[in-house]
């Protein structure tokens, strides 16, 4: 089994034997005393261990530079240790001073001298150009997501296998839950202290979170955003984490934000399938959004995932729409409607799963999964992958992580490469209401996707926006399944055809290979 084979390798390339505290710290992306921009500057303080430090002790710190102040909440990490984590948004000297209701933790001060980010550190991802994403340094981020809800609840061997799979996969975002599924076989630790049926909801379990952070850091080191699912409806009455009292929900959210927000790869997903959480109302999720928004000093990306009932993604605390739909990504115009309605980036986080599931939501062919990514691309939105192929030990990627058995991932790597070679501002639908199935940057760059259709040729006709007579274009045929790029000989020259469109001056059409899953890339010469 993959997990056993791979357990000889430790996390992040360290051998398991060498996985000491310092290696773990490195794996978590922490760096003491020599912190880079968008890294994590951590202040560790000793304080009371009696009573209930999780409830009794308040701790925060103001980190400041030239009048700019970032206030971060501290958290209790067990054993009398308190931590404050700060992700510096700028280089240079940052001073800090703490506030606490405990004398020994109050008015502690110090400074960090933040060095420039390493070449591979582009900062956190944020919204860019209204519908797209970019890292803080301006580098575009083209989301190719995947989901593995409970991968951190597997044993170290499986987790290591998951990370190795990710090393070879195209994914730059992973959706993952903090709370366990009711069907999980893992026996703790859990986010709260205790065991099923005997949780102490006033105490968190730092051991759980230290391990969880290790994996957030491992994703960070791989350039993978961690889309952290804060609540979900899969508790199955086993743990009760879907039915916590309101004050515990808030305490949990604040603790999670205090621990994790400093990781620059963290995104917040309020819930998976929020609308089937029987103990929570939509107003509860509004509240959760506001708690997280207020607590997180960095404004990490925030979304919520649904089953039947779309959340109102126009609400101001939603940074992007996170969509589940079996049908939206079958048609670029369906998907682009969502963008137009919410005027924000849209990620189709769940478009069904590639696999062999007995249920119809997990039976996509690899071809169909890849096609949904391409349709989303033409719609100017982003898409997420999931795989439901159960092995003999009941591991499956979307639930447990491990290894991928499907066929879509390499083709998604091809798509990612195409997108990363595309225009910096992102790909937007072009003249979308008229069945062109074109996206790009008018006058400069176009993608045309044919899906299942296999026409023998495509008339070189482009909507007029950005075009003038005489503009010259090269055309490449992209076989999105076989991952080939074939240049069409010669250039195509734009000439006005009618009041809406330009065609090739010589009336040329683009010959196509009579196969499905073909796209064209048309670039100004």
Residues that bind a second copy (CB under 8 A): 308-310, 312, 314, 325-328, 331, 333-334, 337-338, 340-341, 343, 358-360, 432-435, 499-500
Closest to 255 measured CA to CA, from 220, 214, 213:
213
In the complex with a second copy, which residue's Cβ is closer, 120 or 433? 433
In the complex with a second copy, which residue's Cβ is closer, 20 or 327? 327
In the complex with a second copy, which residue's Cβ is closer, 62 or 331? 331
Q: How far is the CB of 460 from a second copy (least distance, A)?
A: 20
In the complex with a second copy, which residue's Cβ is closer, 34 or 500? 500
Q: How far is the CB of 469 from a second copy (least distance, A)?
A: 21
Q: How far is the CB of 309 from a second copy (least distance, A)?
A: 8
In the complex with a second copy, which residue's Cβ is closer, 66 or 433? 433
- Residues with Cβ within 8 Å of residue 40, at least 6 apart in sequence: 28, 29, 30, 31, 85, 86, 87, 262, 263
- Dihedrals phi, psi of 329, to nearest 5 degrees: -85, 10
Q: How far is the CB of 237 from a second copy (least distance, A)?
A: 24
Q: How far is the CB of 498 from a second copy (least distance, A)?
A: 10
Closest to 317 measured CA to CA, from 280, 347, 342:
342
Q: What does the H/E/C string look like for 268-321?
A: EEEECCHHHCCCCCHHHHHHHHHHHHHHCCCCCCEECCCCCCCCCCCCCCCCCE
Q: What does the chain come to in residues? A: 525
Rounded distance between C-alpha atoms, residue 113 and residue 91, angstroms: 7
- Residues with Cβ within 8 Å of residue 215, at least 6 apart in sequence: 11, 151, 152, 159, 163, 226
- Asked if 261 and 297 touch (Cβ cutoff 8 Å), the reply is yes
In the complex with a second copy, which residue's Cβ is closer, 93 or 359? 359
In the complex with a second copy, which residue's Cβ is closer, 263 or 342? 342
Kindly report the number of other CB atoms within 10 A of residue 314's CB atom. 11
Q: How far is the CB of 437 from a second copy (least distance, A)?
A: 12
Strand partners, 487: 476
Strand partners, 486: 477
In the complex with a second copy, which residue's Cβ is closer, 238 or 334? 334
Closest to 373 measured CA to CA, from 363, 385, 362:
385
- Dihedrals phi, psi of 472, to nearest 5 degrees: -110, 140
Q: How far is the CB of 311 from a second copy (least distance, A)?
A: 10
Q: How far is the CB of 280 from a second copy (least distance, A)?
A: 18
Closest to 143 measured CA to CA, from 126, 159, 160:
126
In the complex with a second copy, which residue's Cβ is closer, 120 or 499? 499
Q: How far is the CB of 493 from a second copy (least distance, A)?
A: 24
In the complex with a second copy, which residue's Cβ is closer, 39 or 345? 345
How far from chain centre, in Å, is Cα 523? 29
- Asked if 227 and 176 touch (Cβ cutoff 8 Å), the reply is yes
Tokens 């987790």, residue? 159
Q: Exposed (0-12), middle (13-18) or buried (19+): which is 31, by Cβ within 10 Å?
A: middle
Alpha helices, H only, 206-280: 206-221, 246-260
Closest to 241 measured CA to CA, from 211, 286, 296, 280:
280
In the complex with a second copy, which residue's Cβ is closer, 257 or 438? 438
In the complex with a second copy, which residue's Cβ is closer, 155 or 501? 501
Q: How far is the CB of 310 from a second copy (least distance, A)?
A: 5
Q: How far is the CB of 117 from a second copy (least distance, A)?
A: 37
Q: How far is the CB of 369 from a second copy (least distance, A)?
A: 16
Rounded distance between C-alpha atoms, residue 477 and residue 459, angstroms: 13
Rounded distance between C-alpha atoms, residue 245 and residue 342, angstroms: 32
């Amino acid at each position: 089994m993959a997990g056993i084979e791979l357990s000889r390798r430790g996390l992040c390339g360290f051998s398991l034997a060498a996985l000491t505290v310092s290696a773990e710290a490195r794996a978590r992306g922490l760096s003491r005393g020599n912190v880079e921009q968008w890294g994590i500057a951590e202040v560790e303080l000793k304080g009371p261990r009696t009573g209930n430090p999780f409830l009794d002790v308040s701790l925060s710190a103001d980190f400041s530079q030239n009048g700019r102040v970032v206030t971060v909440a501290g958290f209790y990490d067990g054993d009398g240790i308190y931590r404050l984590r700060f992700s510096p948004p700028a280089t240079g000297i940052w001073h800090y001073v703490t506030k606490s209701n405990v004398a020994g933790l109050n008015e502690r001060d110090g400074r960090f001298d933040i060095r420039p980010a390493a070449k591979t550190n582009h900062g956190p991802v944020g919204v860019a150009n209204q519908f797209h994403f970019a890292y803080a340094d301006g580098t575009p981020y083209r989301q190719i997501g995947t989901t593995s809800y409970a991968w951190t609840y597997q044993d170290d061997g499986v987790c290591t296998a998951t990370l190795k799979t990710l090393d070879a996969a195209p994914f730059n975002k992973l959706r993952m839950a903090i709370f366990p599924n009711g069907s999980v076989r893992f026996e703790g630790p859990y986010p709260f202290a205790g065991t099923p049926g005997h949780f102490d909801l006033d105490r968190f379990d730092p051991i759980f979170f230290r391990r969880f952070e290790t994996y957030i850091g491992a994703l960070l080191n791989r350039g993978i955003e961690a889309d952290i699912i804060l609540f979900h409806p899969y508790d199955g009455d086993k743990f009760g984490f879907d039915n916590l009292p309101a004050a515990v929900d808030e305490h949990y959210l604040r603790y999670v934000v205090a621990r994790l927000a400093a990781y620059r790869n963290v995104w917040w997903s309020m819930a998976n399938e929020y609308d089937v959480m029987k103990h929570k109302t939509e107003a509860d999720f509004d509240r959760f959004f506001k708690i997280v928004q207020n607590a997180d000093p960095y404004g990490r990306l925030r979304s919520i995932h649904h089953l039947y009932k779309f959340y109102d993604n126009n609400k101001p605390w939603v940074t992007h729409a996170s969509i589940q739909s079996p049908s939206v990504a079958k048609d670029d115009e369906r998907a682009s409607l969502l963008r137009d309605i919410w005027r924000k980036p849209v990620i189709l986080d769940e478009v069904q799963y590639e696999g062999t599931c007995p249920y119809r939501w997990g039976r996509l062919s690899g071809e169909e999964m890849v096609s949904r990514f391409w349709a989303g691309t033409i719609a100017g939105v982003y898409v997420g992958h999931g795989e439901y192929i159960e092995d003999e030990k009941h591991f499956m990627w979307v639930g447990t992580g491990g290894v991928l058995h499907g066929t879509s991932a390499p083709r998604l790597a091809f798509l990612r490469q195409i997108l990363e070679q595309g225009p910096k501002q992102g790909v937007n639908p072009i003249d979308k209401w008229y069945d062109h199935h074109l996206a790009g940057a008018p006058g400069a760059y176009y993608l045309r996707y044919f899906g299942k259709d296999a026409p023998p040729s495509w008339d070189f006709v482009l909507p007029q926006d950005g075009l003038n007579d005489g503009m010259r274009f090269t055309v490449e045929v992209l076989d999105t399944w076989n991952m080939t790029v074939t240049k069409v000989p010669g250039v195509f020259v734009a000439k006005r055809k009618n009041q809406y469109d330009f065609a090739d001056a010589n009336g040329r059409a683009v010959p196509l290979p009579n196969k499905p899953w073909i796209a064209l890339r048309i670039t100004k010469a």
